[in-house]
């Protein structure tokens, strides 16, 4: 069962990272088209809106992969002086706290998305509905929370999360 849950988590993480990568490609293309268009006196209308909403997808899409690969900022200055149980406890607590933070972030974003939908909020120039991007951020936050919860459970049961070789990681 834990192997199945890790496989599901890794697939969801890979999917969110793939969508985030596609967003990055879109941001680069939009910026390139806008800059070239400015040179010829015809900038891309709505490029700012596309870039802002693309960044929402990019940041939240890559968060689960960043956590899975251990890419978050960590200070380990005193780690050599600590006993192993204290380091393990810190890892469990940080995974639980991270999970709670991402669940709260998803909940708050859900409330904001409901309000955005109610008020028909959209971007300023090309009127992209903001709620769509808020729902994407919610899904990606929940994927990240799921991975963190799975890590906390695995660590508390005495098992290390399955290692991901950075060379074989999804979209690394």
pLDDT digits over 62-79, tens only? 999 999 998 888 888 888
Secondary structure in 3-state letters for the chain? CHHHHHHHHHHHHHHHHHHHHHHHHHHHHHHHHHHHHHHCCCCCCCHHHHHHHHHHHHHHHHHHHHHHCCCCCCCCCCHHHCCHHHHHHHHHHHHHHHHHHHHHHHHHHHHHHHHHHHCCCECCCCCCEHHHHHHHHHHHHHHHHHHHHHHHHHHHCCCCCCCCCCCCCCCC
Average pLDDT, the chain: 92
Contact 66, 171 (CB under 8 A): no
- How high is the pLDDT of residue 164? 64
pLDDT tens column, 139-169: 999 999 999 999 999 999 988 777 665 545 4
CB atoms near residue 10 (< 10 Å): 19
Neighbours of 90 (CB within 10 A): 14
pLDDT at position 172 is 40
pLDDT value, residue 75? 81
Name the stretches of the chain with pLDDT < 70: 1, 163-172
């Amino acid at each position: 069962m834990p192997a199945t849950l890790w496989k599901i988590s890794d697939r969801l993480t890979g999917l969110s990272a793939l969508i985030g990568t596609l967003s990055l490609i879109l941001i680069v293309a939009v910026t390139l088209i806008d800059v070239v268009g400015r040179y010829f006196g015809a900038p891309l209308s709505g490029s700012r809106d596309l870039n802002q909403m693309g960044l929402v997808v990019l940041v939240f899409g890559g968060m689960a992969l960043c956590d899975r690969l251990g890419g978050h900022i960590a200070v380990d200055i005193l780690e050599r002086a600590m006993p192993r149980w204290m380091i393990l406890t810190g890892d469990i607590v940080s995974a639980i706290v991270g999970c709670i933070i991402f669940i709260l972030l998803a909940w708050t974003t859900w409330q904001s998305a409901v309000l955005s939908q109610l008020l028909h909020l959209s971007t300023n120039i090309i009127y992209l509905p903001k709620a769509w991007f808020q729902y994407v951020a919610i899904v990606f936050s929940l994927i990240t929370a799921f991975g963190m919860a799975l890590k906390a459970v695995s660590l508390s049961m005495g098992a290390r999360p399955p290692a991901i070789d950075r060379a074989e990681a999804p979209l690394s």
